[in-house]
Structures are given as C-alpha cells and as structure tokens.
Amino acid sequence: MNKYLVIGNPIEHSLSPLLHNYWFKKYGILDSIYEKRKVDKKDLKEIVESVKKGDIKGVNVTVPFKSEILNYIDSFPNEVQKTKSVNTLIKENDKVVGYNTDQGGFEISLSVNNWNKKNKKILILGAGGVAPSILSSFIKKDGASKVYLCNRTRNKAEELKKHWDAAADSCGMLKNTIEVVDWEKKIELCDLVINTTSVGLSVDENINFDFDHYDNNKNVLFYDLIYNPKETNFLKNAKQRGNKIMNGKLMFLWQAQLAFKMWTGVSPEINDEVINLLS
Ligand code: ATR
C-alpha cells in the first residue's frame, strides 16, 4: 500500500484526505491511502526519513511547519528558497525534495477566473507564513504594477519586502513594486485585496479593514485565502458593498492537484463534482 500523509498542528480541519482519497478511487489508484497526522516539530525528522525509506510515498505539509520542514529535507527548487515555504514532499533519486504547490495553486485560481495580474494594483493583508507564496505571484516580469503589503506587526512586512527586493533582479520585478503600508493608512484603490491573515477562521472574527472607498467597485476582487467558513466577514462585507469575492477553495484544490500529479503522474480534473465534495 502506498501511504500519503498531511502533517500539521492542528490537523483535524484538513480536507486533504477526503480529496486525495476521492481522486485515488476515481482514477483507480487503489493501492494508495492518504491520512492526516497531527505532529510536533520533533517528529519532522522521522517523517522525512520515512519518505526517504519509501515507507511514506508523499507528504503535504501544512501550518505551522511549511518553513520549518526546510531544515530536514535534502533539496528544494529555487522558488522554494524564495518563499521559504514547502507544502509537498516527494522522493526523487534517493533524495527527499520539497516543493511549494501553494504558489502555483494560487496563480491557477486567478487565471481560471480570467483574472490577469499585469499592471494591476494589489493589496496584501498579512505577512505570515503563506504571504510569500502569494506575493511571489505578482512580482515578476509582466506582473503587478504595485503591491501594497500591510501587516499588524509592521516589521514582518518590512522583512518580507527586504527579502523580495533583494531578489528583484532574478524575478524580473521592478524596484519599488512593493510598498509597506500601515494597517490604518488609506491607500489608492486597488484591483485586488487579499486576506492572507488567519482572521476570519472563527466565524465571528472581523478584520479591521476600512472598506469605505470600495463601495460598488464591481471590478475589484476581494480574495480571502480562508475557505472554511466559506464566506468570512471580510468577504461578506465586500459582497454587500458590490465587489467581487472569492474564497480559498480553488487555491486549495489546485495546490492539491499539482501535488497529486507529482506523486502519481495523474492530473485530476477540477470540476463541479470535486468543488462540491468540499462544501
Ligand atoms: P506565522 O506568522 O507564524 O506564519 P500565520 O498563521 O501564517 O503565522 O500568520 C498569521 C497572520 O495573520 C500574520 O500576518 C498575523 O499578523 P502578525 O504578524 O501581526 O501576528 C495575522 N494576524 C493574526 N491575528 C490577527 C489579528 N487579530 N489582526 C490582524 N492580523 C492578524
């Protein structure tokens, strides 16, 4: 039996086993099973060793270990070095390699919605673990014209900007694309406002965002990476004001699709059936 795992802490909420096991069944990959496991930092080394020995065929890594896992794996591609985030492990030529499919999943989720980043203005709320994977989508050749970055703890946003400014030449980003702004500061109207913070995971939580000048801007997309609950207060507010909204479900599905393909060679279809599976 080929064994796959998603590891994190907490992990109860993860829908990855439901999704991957559905795809194993759908595509007749009947010798495979995908489970979730709550782990601590001290378990990471052993998990990576199990992948190396072949006892575990593939692993998804989720919060809060996406960065920590880098210390235990053998190699990772360049974009992982930039985002410092790994969510997928696979054994390649006796080495355990870590990939970041969140980044690709995020980009596909926008492109399937016909959203093009070229010359757009983006506001990213939050500078936590997932923010670099989001930021990296916009700061490349033919990317956004401006990325405002705003975090409750401002210096984390400053650090992120510094890190990416240093990599500017290698990703084709124009200097000064990223600007750190204070949470309360009113900035120009953006085309896309993304919540990458954890605010909204509990239904009654409210992000402290001033929507005033976003009234009835049908071309503005509000994107919350959270998909459970389906509509956070951030999205409810944006919708009530006449803006477009999107939650993190498609990003979740596409990052899973990319991982599944790496492990099995099969590229599962993302259709209404699979979208509904998670609702
Ligand atoms: P980590 O930073 O450890 O990677 P995370 O869950 O990936 O954790 O990130 C949490 C994000 O949500 C951070 O941007 C955090 O802001 P701080 O850096 O200031 O902690 C943000 N966040 C969490 N609770 C918040 C709140 N009540 N208001 C605003 N931002 C919040």
| Pocket of ligand 1 contains residue 198 by CB under 6 Å | yes
Q: Output the pLDDT for position 210.
A: 86
| Pocket of ligand 1 contains residue 153 by CB under 6 Å | yes
Query: Would the pLDDT of 214 be above 90?
Result: no
Whole-number Å distance, alpha carbon 9 to ligand 1 midpoint, is 16
According to CATH, the topology of domain 104-250 is: Rossmann fold (3.40.50)
Q: Output the pLDDT for position 51.
A: 98
- Name the active-site residue from 36, 57, 66, 121: 66
Domains 2-100 and 104-250 fall in the same CATH topology: yes
Q: Whose CA is nearest to atom 16 of ligand 1?
A: 152
Digit-coded pLDDT (tens) for 58-110: 999 999 999 999 999 999 998 898 899 999 999 999 999 999 999 999 999 99
Query: Would the pLDDT of 208 be above 90?
Result: no
HEC string of the chain?
CEEEEEEECCCCCCCHHHHHHHHHHHCCCCCEEEEEEECCHHHHHHHHHHHHHCCCCEEEECCCCCCHHHHCCCECCHHHHHHCCCCEEEEECCEEEEECHHHHHHHHHHHCCCCCCCCCEEEEECCCCCHHHHHHHHCCCCCCCEEEEECCCHHHHHHHHHHHHHCHHHHCCCCCCEEECCCCCCCCCCCEEEECCCCCCCCCCCCCCCCHHHCCCCCCEEEECCCCCCCCHHHHHHHHCCCEEECCHHHHHHHHHHHHHHHHCCCCCCCHHHHHHCC
Q: Output the pLDDT for position 262.
A: 98
Superfamily of chain region 2-100: Leucine Dehydrogenase, chain A, domain 1 (3.40.50.10860)
The average pLDDT across 14-22 equals 97
**Which of 70, 161, 198 has most ligand 1 atoms within 8 Å of its beta carbon, as the pocket-test mutant?**
198
Q: Output the pLDDT for position 141.
A: 78
Domains of the chain: which residue ranges? 2-100, 104-250
Whole-number Å distance, alpha carbon 196 to ligand 1 midpoint, is 8
The average pLDDT across 213-226 equals 90
The average pLDDT across 238-259 equals 96
Whole-number Å distance, alpha carbon 30 to ligand 1 midpoint, is 40
Query: Would the pLDDT of 152 be above 80?
Result: yes
Predicted TM-score (pTM) of this structure: 0.94
Let me know if 66 is a catalytic residue: yes
pLDDT confidence band for 235 (50 / 70 / 90): very high
Digit-coded pLDDT (tens) for 129-142: 899 999 999 988 78
**Which of 194, 196, 197 has most ligand 1 atoms within 8 Å of its beta carbon, as the pocket-test mutant?**
197
